[in-house]
Structure 1
Amino acid sequence: MLAIGGWNDSLGSKYARLVLDSQSRRRFVESVISFVEQHGFEGLDLAWEFPVCWQANCDRGNPTEKDGFVALVKELSEAFKAKGLILSAAVSPSKMVIDAGYNVFELSLYFDWMAVMTYDFHGHWDMRTGQVAPLFHNGCDDNIYLNGNFSIHYWLERGIPRNKLVMGMPMYGQTFTLADRNHRSLNDKTVGPGKAGTFTRADGFLAYYEICEKVGNDDWKVVRDEEGVFGSYAYSGNQWISYDDVRTIRRKAQFIKSLQLGGSMIWALDLDDFRGLCGCGKHPLLRTLNQELLGISGQKAKDCT
């Protein structure tokens, strides 16, 4: 699959200009099919973040983009079906963005599946600690919408068939620098992002393979979510990390099966412990997801974080 969009690529008006102009849409469909066929891709994944709400700011776009996006997707779908190609999308988990930017039922007629990015509910931008991808609402969060359970059910209520809805999971953690190292629970004050990782080199972000190495080798305290509400977190000094561990991924896979959803997607393949350096074997998160969703046999990964 070929994918276009993403957070950085969604800055500015180019996708809005595309969907609102019929000739631009026609040229886009033609060029995509040519490129996909030339390079042997099976289809296209659209990851515009987001119609009307550019980079989650709903004051930036124009409400007409909502119908314009449907028009583009319909035209792509008609052309793709004639060629036997797949059309999918990565979409927002935010109630505000869903309401402003997506005609959910109409879009679901044309996409083969839609993957909800049920992560980044919290991060250093909040200036307080929070779980990157809580499955359910917990009492520490004053916003009842910021969790996977709400997002998935909200998409379903808007009219998308269960078998076309895919739930996203993070293979990374959001990191924070605590304002007071003695106050290190959920919802405690922070002063900014956590320190950058050795390999990912981005403040406020660590790959799972960086997290499991830190937790396994350094002086980190891990707080596990025994009830399956919000995931795990860890802290050391003034550094604080929220992430999904093996146990959390397993619970989310079971949640997907219980709702008979279309499946799961991850961000991203290269962020799992792909070398097996932390004692869980190679790809512990992805392996757990496959075992739970597909019933693949084999030794189950242990929590090494």
Structure 2
Amino acid sequence: MGIGGWVDSSGDKYSRMVNNRASRAHFVQQVIGFIEKYGFTGLDLDWEFPSFPHKNSFSTPATASDKNGFSMLLAELSAVFKPRKLHLSAAVSPDSVVVDAAYDVPGLSQHLDWVGLMAYDYHGPWDRKTGHVAPLHHHNGDVSPRFNVDFSINYWLSKGLRKDKLVLGMPMYGKSFTLANPSNNGLNAPISGPGRGGPITNAGGTLAFYEICSSVKRYHWNIKRESDGSMGPYAFKGDQWVSYDDISDIKKKSELIKSMGLGGGMVWTPAFDDFKNTCGCGRYPLLTALSSTLNGGPAPHVRNCAS
């Protein structure tokens, strides 16, 4: 069972709950009752983010005590989950600034079965220029050395998270942009706003992988990759531009999980993968790449899949 998410995290309800002992106890009691009634195997908490103002709700204050309150909530949940053999996890920010403000990392490492690192949305239309949604390594053109998967993993580990509890998140979507000048179509190009919504998802600034691979295959979007291999591809046509991870990038990140001895991989969201084999690489090619790399088995071919 999951609670939270970007939209649900606006407002102060989670802050008020974690900072009040009686409210925490009531929450724990209600969660246990709901889990046992409906047969769930655990709880994933996705509060975005403790002790940090919500970007979509500037009226939501940053409360420093959230950090300790969240850690206390996890300890209290863990105390009742473990005897029942229930799983407890949390989705967390990849940004070191948020990590320092929001999380008692040793406490999370102690009380959680795993920590889902949301290693995506490093860049988007809010930057007012093009950028990659989930770069694996730092790129010389990036404004900050911290906006990449490699930095985020190592920062969390340096703060005390057990590596076998870190589950690396990967995007099944791309961040899209509308170019200010279609002839200026590289990284860090000025934009006029988010990209147009896709034909199915209809969400400005975001395209599902199946929408991206369809645009590449059917409408012949141009694909570019940086020569240093620091990030996945980006594709563009006219004034529309999108960055994303393809099969080879998912495999590369999955291989990193194995080589570092991390806890595993997760995705947001399976519904954005090419579940109908629209683009000719089989059903769920990104999920298949993740699973086959971590568990062994045949990997999907890359041809004609937005690569």
Aligning the two structures, in what range does the TM-score lie when normalised by the shorter sequence? over 0.9
| % same residue | 48
The residue number in structure 2 matching 1:43 is 42
- The one-character-per-residue Cα deviations of 1:174-201 (angstroms, maximum 9, x if unpaired) are 0000010110000110010001011101
The residue number in structure 2 matching 1:298 is 298
* Aligned 1:83-94 pairs, distance under 5 A: 83-94=84-95
* Aligned 1:1-305 pairs, distance under 5 A: 2-55=1-54, 60-295=61-296, 297-303=297-303, 304-305=305-306
**Residue-pair matches, total:** 303
Could you tell me how far apart the structure 1 residues matched to 2:181 and 2:227 are?
26
Match of 2:34, as an amino acid? F
SS at match of 1:142: coil
SS at match of 2:8: helix
Does the 8 Å contact 1:288/1:301 carry over to 2? no
Hey, which bits of structure 1, 4+ residues long, moved more than 2 A? 54-60, 224-228, 298-301
Match of 2:120, as an amino acid? Y
Does the 8 Å contact 2:235/2:242 carry over to 1? yes
Measure how far apart 1:298 and its partner are: 2.4
Does the 8 Å contact 1:223/1:232 carry over to 2? yes
- The one-character-per-residue Cα deviations of 1:87-145 (angstroms, maximum 9, x if unpaired) are 00000001110001101011110000001100000001111000000000001101111
Structure-2-length-normalised TM-score: 0.96
- The one-character-per-residue Cα deviations of 1:132-187 (angstroms, maximum 9, x if unpaired) are 00000001101111000000000000001110001100000000000101100001
Does the 8 Å contact 2:223/2:233 carry over to 1? yes
Could you tell me how far apart the structure 2 residues matched to 1:181 and 1:199 are?
24
RMSD: 1.3
- The one-character-per-residue Cα deviations of 1:5-27 (angstroms, maximum 9, x if unpaired) are 00000001000000000000001
- The one-character-per-residue Cα deviations of 1:272-297 (angstroms, maximum 9, x if unpaired) are 000111011000000000000111x2
In structure 2, relative to structure 1, the CA distance for the partners of 1:38 and 1:226 (3 Å cut) is farther
Match of 2:181, as an amino acid? D
In structure 2, relative to structure 1, the CA distance for the partners of 1:299 and 1:167 (3 Å cut) is closer
Could you tell me how far apart the structure 1 residues matched to 2:154 and 2:238 are?
38
Question: For structure 2, which runs of at least 5 residues remain unmatched after alignment?
Answer: none
Match of 1:65, as an amino acid? D
Could you tell me how far apart the structure 1 residues matched to 2:178 and 2:146 are?
25
Does the 8 Å contact 2:289/2:299 carry over to 1? no
